[in-house]
Amino acid sequence: MTRKWKRRFKRKKLKLVVSPGDCTDLNTSVVDCHIGKYLKDFIREQIKQIHEADPVLNNKIEKSGISCLRVQITHWVATAWKQLCQTDAIEKAFKKCGLANDIHGKENDKIEVLDLLTYSPPDKDFVPRKEPYSEKEQWDLYNKEFDAFQENRKRKLKNKQNQSKRKRAKFSFI
In this structure, are 49 and 114 located in the same domain? yes
Which sign, positive or negative, has the C-alpha torsion 23, 158, 162, 119?
negative
Residue after which a domain boundary falls, among 127, 143, 166? 127
Is 74 within a domain?
A: yes
7 within a domain of the structure (yes/no): no
Residues 134 and 122 in one domain: no
Which tops the pLDDT comparison, 173 or 41? 41
Task: Based on the fold, state whether residues 113 and 47 are members of the same structural domain.
Answer: yes
Is 0.85 topped by the overall pTM?
no
- In angstroms, the CA 29 to CA 44 distance is 21
| One domain, residues 108 and 165 | no
- Say yes or no: 86 and 115 in one domain: yes
CA distance 153 to 86: 39
Q: What is the pLDDT of residues 105-162, one digit of tens each?
A: 778 778 877 667 787 777 767 777 788 888 999 889 888 888 988 898 898 889 888 8
Report the alpha-carbon distance of residue 161 to residue 165 in Å, rounded.
Answer: 6
pLDDT at site 82? 94
Domain span at residue 71 reads 22-127
Q: Are residues 94 and 31 in the same domain?
A: yes
Q: 47 and 62: one domain?
A: yes
